Amino acid sequence: MGNTYTPPEQEILFLLNQVINWQELFELPGYRHADSELGAAIISEACRFSAEVLSPLNQAGDAEGCHLTNGNVQVPDEFRKAYGLFTEGGWPGLDLPLRFGGQALPITLTTAVSEMMNGACVAFSMMPCMLRAAAALLAEHADNELKERIVPAIVAGGYGATIVITEPQAGSDVGAIKTYAIKQNDGSYKLTGTKIFITCGDQNYTEQIIHLVLARVKGADPGTRGLSLFLVPKRSFDKPEDINHVSVSRLEKKMGLKASPTCVLNFDQALGYRIGKEGKGLNCLFSMMNLMRLEVATQSVGIASAASQSAASYARERKQGGQTEASIMQHADVRRMLATMQAYTEAMRALVLETSFNLDKSRHAEKEQERAECRALAEFLLPVCKAWCSDRAFEMTNLGIQVMGGHGYIADEGMEQYVRDCRVLSIYEGTNGIQALDLVMRKLLLKQGTGYTLFVKRIEVDLAKHANHPKLERLAKPLADGLNRLKSCTDLLVNIKVDSLRDAEAAATPYLQLVGQLAGAWMLFRIAAAAENGASQLEKYTHAQFYMEYLLPESQVYEQRIRSGAKAIDKCF
């Protein structure tokens, strides 16, 4: 009963060493204190921790859930024990600065570790996600006193943290936020308002919780320009026995992630401290937005990998078909679904690691031009990673149920939990429609497509590198055709007239999907080339071939939708 997750350690190491070439990172000034051997050892230990500590929690935590008792949230006891082991192992601070107790290791390494932990139990991994985001934000924007007091405690796992934005009337439209702050004579603030959908808004992992709250100073401008960011502790810093005026009025009953508490928080003149300049709250949040997008993409890869493993294991063992009793793996349609799951999972994993690699180089490459180019490429790919990967993860988990039939639909085997747990990934940290608008309206049109140009150039370089390779030719042609399709659609959008921007908005989602589909093909082409002389050569090649011949042609559908503009949509309403 249930399934057992096996972290894909060797797959990840193959990508890092043979495809991404992460050895380059340890030659950069910011990472010379480590090397790829240390990175591999950390991945091996994360593999063990994920399999032995986290994976057994997944279904049990889903069944038990969280509970609100006398205004306090209780997480499953086994989750608390696992969190203790997690913090003792130093996992919260892998890529955070040394001065705060972190290890200052590459984002790429953290991404690899995070995939395995999310594949084992994504509900548990929501808490570490909040810690990492809050610590990074405070390290960049808080004043020195707050940094030194709080960031080391978050990195050590002694403080919990939340990102507090959404309100009942203000979801994606953050300019409609009503929570307000009144400045006090000592420079602190009192905050009042209600926030919803707050991940780990309360929990009993830690005694102290640091809420990072987006609110409006009383009398500030309306809209987003009037928003500031505040740090609101659950307990007084000076008297930890005193609870600040923050209360939990409801624990949300959710479709999935039941062992991760999502709270409604009420602030009733709660004491807070401003982070950054007044009216610059969104600017502060933007500094952690890239990490959060990357984390959602990584969660998507983790769940897709777990679902793919589970479905393949079931298909190999399930006997069906009359007197011969062959496994259902022999059926063409089952193989179609499993091949789709495997190919997409491999492509997603490689794309997320490639994006992480570019984020690392954007921080520590020695030349400013290289840092700028890596930053532009990563920022172009991040909305694609978040949206394309989360959409594919939901598709993969649904295919998993289809492979397993009735056994996939019931709770015993665990596949239906993957469907429920990953459904929110396309919603939070900016819905996928918003990611698509960001890609087209900002990254492509407003920023003159710098990241897009670099993306195209990278694919062209890889195609040219293997132009005379007879075996890769069969993969190169569909990749080149897909690239030409993207260029044609991009030309259409960048030349769009100002009075026709509605067509660009309507094209945003299919355009993002087109970029994602092509990016996946690019990754699998690189994987097949890297595996040419390896033991897994045939498997890597066949997955890439399946993707090129069976999945990449979907890009033709996205092209048609891009070209149709807004007319077909607007006629419906």
The set of catalytic residues is 429
What is the number of other CB atoms lying within 10 angstroms of the CB of residue 250? 13
Tokens, residue 505: 């908005």
Q: How far is 113 from 120, CA to CA, in rounded Å?
A: 11
69 strand-pairing partners? 72
> What residue type is 50 in one-letter code?
S
Beta strands in 131-201 (DSSP E): 159-164, 180-183, 189-199
160 strand-pairing partners? 209
CA distances from 191 to 138, 266, 398 (A): 19, 10, 43
CB 221 within 8 A of CB 284: no
CB 118 within 8 A of CB 303: yes
CA distances from 298 to 72, 90, 114, 265, 350 (A): 30, 20, 7, 28, 11
Q: Which residues make Cβ contacts (< 8 Å) with residue 332, sequence separation at least 6?
A: none
Alpha helices, DSSP H, located in 438-500 = 450-465, 473-494
Q: How far is 552 from 546, CA to CA, in rounded Å?
A: 9
